[in-house]
Amino acid sequence: MPRYDTTSSRRENGTENRTLAESEVDSHRAESGSVDVPAPAWHVVARTVAVFFSIYSLLNLISETNHAQAGSHIWWLKQINLPAYGVRGLIALACALLVAFGVCPRMSPLRRRLSLLSVALLFALALWNTAAYYVLLRQSELRAVMPIPFSLHVAACLAVIFAGLRQEVLGPVRAGRDLVVGLLTLGVCVVGFPLVHMTCGDIVDVHESRQVVVAFAYIEPDENLPPDPLATRVETSCGVYRKTPSAKLILAGRVRDGEKPETETMRQLALQQGVPAADIILVTEETNLRAALRRTLTVFEKLSATQVIAVSHGYQLPGIELGYRAEGFEVATVAAGSPHRLFASRSLLCREVLELWRIYLEPLGAMIKGR
């Protein structure tokens, strides 16, 4: 009987089967956008933004565990009312998944679906808050200097992250390029997020019964900048005062050696604006704005005030808002002056960015010391 080389036949069949299987895998990867090539540079950007957004959100969650009013939605969900614990849980879940995406982008189908779902939900909330912002903007009597809500910037970041989550990359890692792109993206985020806080406009509902309007001076002199007159802040705060029922006007400033106190100058300007002297309260603090903020808390206790409208230049308002919310006060902010002042001086820009990050990191330091 003739003999057939069955071993050779099986090998050929096995080779054909493997070739067909590999072709199917390659076809599936091509259809899904997954190929064995290095991740594109924009994918590294998406991963870096995901990690930064998670760190930023976790700092807010840590702050919320220490203070009742310093919520995770302090910046980008201010215009909508949602169950606090539900929002915190969603943000915490998203943070965990996004950190995992940034560190290990190769995901199982289940983790990818959960990550996409959590980011999509946060994106929808950000757009919802943005829509509510512009609805209130049309109804508000006080216009924001730069009417762009922070939630719109958050939505843009989440869109970048969502695109990165959808892109499945199985190829080799280009460590050098990824490190450079990641560090550049991180630097932009570290500087950019505080600047967005400082320039985004807030909405004040003057129909609410707020009890105190606080105008802060504390103008830092800079030879590279045009003068920032106190009149701008006083005029803005007086306008808020006139539209706010049953309000008191607190003027906070400092006194330098051999100079007239800022608060006295502000008082004279407020009287010229028609504010009754009985409604004006002066708070003079020689050190800095943070010290003046703490001194105003004593005034709030005497007035039994729990609601605050803070007026200052835009670059000072994020720190003021965080400080008041950390003490349990509901606060709205109104910017006075042009936002372009901040970008006219590198020293002022660096100082305010570092100060805002210091305020953000304070709750974390307090928690570590508490342990």
Which of 50-54, 203-207, 227-231, 257-261 ranks highest by mean pLDDT?
50-54
Which of 52-56, 66-70, 244-248 ranks highest by mean pLDDT?
52-56
Residue 123: per-residue pLDDT: 95
Tokens coding 228: 């920032």
* Burial degree of 89 (CB within 10 A; 0-12, 13-18, 19+): exposed
Which of 266-270, 305-309, 317-321 ranks highest by mean pLDDT?
266-270
Mean per-residue pLDDT for 32-39? 57
Residues in contact with 239: Cβ distance below 8 Å, sequence separation at least 6, in sequence order: 142
Cβ-based neighbour number of residue 285 at 10 Å: 19
pLDDT digits (tens, 9 = 90+) for 268-299: 989 998 999 999 999 887 667 778 888 888 88
Residue 98: per-residue pLDDT: 95
Nearest to 47 by CA among 151, 167, 150: 167
Mean per-residue pLDDT for 239-260? 80
Residue 96: per-residue pLDDT: 94
Which of 22-31, 97-106, 128-137, 284-293 ranks highest by mean pLDDT?
97-106
pLDDT(228) > 70: no
The residue with greater pLDDT, 157 or 228, is 157
Residue 209: per-residue pLDDT: 54
Residue 363: per-residue pLDDT: 66
The residue with greater pLDDT, 132 or 185, is 185
Return the H-helix or E-strand segment holding 252: strand 248-253
CA distance 58 to 63: 8
Percentage of residues of the chain with pLDDT beyond 90:
21
| Mean pLDDT of the residues in the chain | 77
CA distance 270 to 257: 24
Nearest to 279 by CA among 219, 347, 215, 330: 215
pLDDT(11) > 60: no
54 φ, ψ (degrees, to nearest 5): -65, -45
Residue 22: per-residue pLDDT: 45
Residue 317: per-residue pLDDT: 82
Residue 143: per-residue pLDDT: 58
pLDDT(38) > 90: no
The residue with greater pLDDT, 255 or 210, is 255
Mean per-residue pLDDT for 47-74? 73
pLDDT(201) > 70: no
pLDDT digits (tens, 9 = 90+) for 207-217: 555 578 888 88
Mean per-residue pLDDT for 333-351? 70
CA distance 46 to 139: 37
The residue with greater pLDDT, 192 or 344, is 192
- Is 321 in contact with 356 (CB distance < 8 Å)? no
Mean per-residue pLDDT for 147-166? 91
Mean per-residue pLDDT for 290-315? 83
- Is 197 in contact with 151 (CB distance < 8 Å)? no
Specify the pTM. 0.75
Residue 25: per-residue pLDDT: 42
The residue with greater pLDDT, 332 or 166, is 166
pLDDT(59) > 70: yes
Residue 222: per-residue pLDDT: 54
Percentage of residues of the chain with pLDDT beyond 70:
72
